[in-house]
Structure 1
Amino acid sequence: MTGVLRRSGPRNLLTDVEGIAVGHAADERLGSGTTVVLCDAPATAAVHVQGGAPGTRETDLLDPDKTVAGVDALVLSGGSAFGLDAASGAQAWLRERGRGFAVGEIRVPIVPAAILFDLGPGESWERYPPYRELGYEAASAARADFELGSVGAGAGATTATFKGGLGSASVVLPNSVTVAALAAANALGSATVGTTRHFWAAPFEVDGEFGGLGMPLPMPNDAGEPRTKLAPSPGANTTIAVVATDARLDKAQAKRLAVAAHDGFARALWPAHTPFDGDLVFALATGRNEAELSPQDWVLMGAAAAAVMARAIARGVHSAAPLPGDRKPAWRTAR
């Protein structure tokens, strides 16, 4: 078959997976924000970390041998460890609506979270950082249609060469299963080849979704040289992401999908998974599609997870908006 990974969903967003909504909130003064992925009903979830510097909340619950069967939401946030507070805001929003598993008369929403480091030298607040309120606002704003670029968890993102951002992409497979990704690209490395504007993810691009430039020809002699933002701070990094499907998966199968999606990091970023990135992928399975999965389907789902992740990362960088005080140029304005 040809073109099996070329058919995007109607929105080309994570929300092409039925049962998912996405919302953003940001603090313009801080240049940082939060993205919440809401599940209409508890969804099977897993996580896989390949970066050396992750920041997480409640990810142990997602191991296949742990009791919790589903999550109510996932949170991606800027703010380094302070950003983990965003999950409390999303949890409060869900609890107000009676969501969560019952413990007597109490409802406990399950909201795992991951953070990236986008703190600037001038960031300050009084007793508590703003991320709890940002998490509540992002949950309140969750919709099927959402913006990309310098929004939510991508508001303060950068890469080695250009601004980073929040990106998303989807694909509908021949068996009708949808696989989609959402990524906040804040990598130590670069999403583009050498000093060019060509994306490493170009072989997976669909319908010119991140500029349609393809790969550079000829390939620059220095294309393989790692470009990083180790200076001035080796810790201001991390790409965090979600891969989702409407297929019926258990937690172990969802974990395999998260593992496969990390291949998309390696296809879209050079270098990736460094000791100074907390590179992490959550996997969600809503189970709305009852298609039986053959061995060939499983192989294709893994390839789809990697492809949509690479596309989501590139779309995040491509969509970033130029703003006053930027630490890196926006791709769309650079020449």
Structure 2
Amino acid sequence: MRPGPMNLITDVPGIRVGNAKDRKIKTGCTVVLSDAPMTAGYHVMGGAPGTRETDLLAPDKSVEAVDALVLSGGSGFGLDAGSGVADALAADGRGFPVGPVRVPIVPGAILFDLINGGDKAWVDNPYKRLGREAYAAARDWFELGSDGAGTGATTASLKGGLGSASIVLPGGIVVGAVVAVNALGSATVGDGPQFWAAPWEQGDEFGGLGVATAYPDGRPATKGHGQNTTIAVVATNAALSKAQCTRLAIAAHDGIARALVPSHSPMDGDLIFAASTGALPCEDLLWLGHAAATCVARASARGVYLAAPAPGDSLPTWSQRFGR
């Protein structure tokens, strides 16, 4: 298995990603789109999720495909980013047909970045605007680190960020992930620069430092309760049903556990969406899930590794702390 040419979720044919951010507020959102509606599922393993339109992703619900998936900062305020994306989709004539009307289907999830040093004294909720801007920016290549939904993200001791990674499987199937890392725990091992995700690193995509030689015992470092949540989208061109997308999302959560310690706590809302463009037959859901988990782990480390400093930050970046 090898990364795709861009090592981004957009290596999956037909997938596009758009980011928008507000530097003053220290927040942003990320939208994942495809050329046609996507089959999708999701799974939550954190105890405090914030979501939009996720019930319809259950395999027994009647809507078979979604028009976009949205990851956003802003806690409950950030759910409005999906409204901006829905407005933009409707203006482009996309959505679930109901008679003469089309209703865009836009599930979303949020992370908490409200006390990260940004100016949150807004009068009007900014997230609908950010959702429209992210939709307009959707393309094959997009920025990582302090951008999109990762703009204001943090971990226990470092700035978080937006990461992405991909894997090309035999037969042309591609799996990719985009992750907004706003973790209760840490992406790095103890006080050192090595990443928990190091065993799955491809080349030097997050520094090439290898695995840590010593591991901390006792209770791991964490940040404030209620200030967390890592959210992600995994996508593939393998044809999957809604039930299979749900299984893919469940398997992909292993990547969060491999990359962020601790994870899936009662005080965060760790959530993964899984989407299929349906272009190629799926011959092995087991290995597709393993590939998705590996991409999520690598993308999580890349998000922290590529975070950029900004005025008023509450935490240093990986590069500031470790000088690389």
Query: What are the residue-to-residue correspondences of 1:21-170 with 2, within 5 Å?
Result: 21-120=16-115, 122-126=119-123, 128-170=124-166
8 Å CA contact 1:161–1:192 kept in 2: the answer is: no
Runs of 5+ consecutive residues of structure 1 not aligned to the other structure: none
Letter in 1 for 2:169: L
Cα distance, 1:171–1:224 mapped onto 2, change above 3 Å: farther
Runs of 4+ aligned residues of structure 1 deviating over 3 Å after TM superposition are none
What is residue 8 of structure 1 aligned with on the other side? 3
8 Å CA contact 2:248–2:285 kept in 1: the answer is: no
Find the aligned partners of 2:301 and 2:171 in 1 and give their Cα distance. Answer: 26
* 1:187 positional shift: 0.3
SS of the equivalent of 1:88 reads helix
* 1:224 positional shift: 5.6
SS of the equivalent of 2:85 reads helix
* 1:223 positional shift: 5.1
Aligned residues: 320
* 1:175 positional shift: 2.8
The correspondence for 2:201, drawn from 195, 199, 205, is 205
8 Å CA contact 2:199–2:211 kept in 1: the answer is: yes
CA offset digits 1:132-162 (Å, max 9, x no partner): 0000000000000000000010000000021
* 1:26 positional shift: 0.9
* 1:226 positional shift: 1.1
CA offset digits 1:72-118 (Å, max 9, x no partner): 00000000000000000000110001000122221101000100000
Letter in 1 for 2:174: T
Give TM-score scaled by structure 2 length: 0.97
Find the aligned partners of 2:263 and 2:170 in 1 and give their Cα distance. Answer: 30
CA offset digits 1:235-280 (Å, max 9, x no partner): 1110000011100000000100000000001000100000111000
Q: Please, what is the CA RMSD of the aligned residues?
A: 1.1
Give TM-score scaled by structure 1 length: 0.94
Runs of 5+ consecutive residues of structure 2 not aligned to the other structure: none
8 Å CA contact 1:40–1:72 kept in 2: the answer is: no
